[in-house]
Copies of this chain bind each other. A is one copy, B any other.
Amino acid sequence: MPTPDITTLTADLRVLGGQRVWSLMISLFGDLAQGEHDGIDGPVLSTIMAALEVKPEAARVALHRLRNDGWITSAKTGRISRHSLTPKGRALSAAASPRIYTRPDEGPQDWQLVLLENTDLEAQTSLIAAGFKQITPRVFVGPTTPPLPKGALAMPGQPAPAWLQDQVGPRELAKDYANLHITLTTLAGALPDPQMLNALDTAVLRCLIVHNWRRLVLKHPLPPRALISDTAGFHLCHLIVADLLARFARPALATIAQEQATL
């Protein structure tokens, strides 16, 4: 039985959105090569980008842009270039990783409501930065752990009505999550057992999952579990993403290189 065609299986994920190549490349480096001594050799990167259906010229332009922006650095050993995240790129990837890779059951559990004395901008900004969601003027809901602005009144969360879960969730992304959910459900049903995929295909699959997930989840905080409806689109996506990333484990870069050498 031949290796399943990952290009066909992931076609929907490739067209769903977020098709900027430089952004896709950040997803790739963040997933495969975030470690301090990680780097992707030029031939391996070319192979992966080709498998992602990115034309060589587009990949070159993206790499150039990421170097100019200080995300990626390239070093030559003989005729082979090796591309790595810069310290800045690694720090930005690391900052985003918890939000991308946290499993649905690993996030904050309990919630609290915070009432501010007034509409002080600094206090509001600090709460939003701490993962809170504004519900109405002066009122925020979020996790129980962050330090609160001075004078803020905290009210421990009670069993949340469905309307509050709906208001806390990213309603503006509801359609995007619904589309991603359909795509991931179809994909999950069609994927072969993980051992049937080689390292390159697994890397491609993970990159597209991470990329589509990343461009949505980084737009809003993960609400405490008590504020998430079991049927919320972003939660359903989260369950599938976490399951797929766990089952299709991150391949070693060396394994991808070896596979190419043996072709």
Contact = CB atoms under 8 A, between A and B. Distances in A.
Interface in A147-191: 151, 153-158, 160-161, 163-164, 167
Interface stretch (A59-67, A85-93, A125-133, A135-143): A135-143
Interface of A: 113, 115, 117, 135-139, 151, 153-158, 160-161, 163-164, 167
A156 B137 CA distance: 20
Contacts of A135: 115, 138
Given A115-B135, A117-B163, A137-B137, A158 B154 contact: yes
A151 B161 contact: yes
Given A137-B136, A139-B136, A158 B155 contact: yes
Q: At the interface, is chain A mostly helix, strand, loop or mixed?
A: mixed
A119 to B, nearest CB: 9
B163 A151 contact: yes
A115 B164 contact: yes
Nearest to A139: B139
Given A113-B113, A115-B139, A139-B136, A164 B153 contact: yes
22 contacts: A113-B113, A113-B115, A113-B155, A115-B135, A115-B136, A115-B139, A115-B164, A117-B161, A117-B163, A117-B164, A117-B167, A136-B137, A138-B139, A151-B161, A151-B163, A153-B158, A153-B161, A153-B164, A155-B155, A155-B157, A156-B156, A156-B158
A163 B117 CA distance: 6
A157 B154 CA distance: 10
Given A117-B164, A135-B138, A153-B160, 18 more contacts: A115-B135, A115-B136, A115-B139, A117-B161, A136-B136, A136-B137, A136-B139, A137-B137, A138-B139, A151-B161, A153-B161, A153-B164, A154-B158, A155-B155, A155-B157, A155-B158, A156-B156, A156-B158
A14 B155 CA distance: 45
Contact of A138 (B136, B151, B154): B136
Contacts of A157: 155
A156 B153 CA distance: 12
A144 B27 CA distance: 51
A161 B138 CA distance: 15
A117 B158 CA distance: 15
Nearest to A163: B117
Nearest to A164: B153
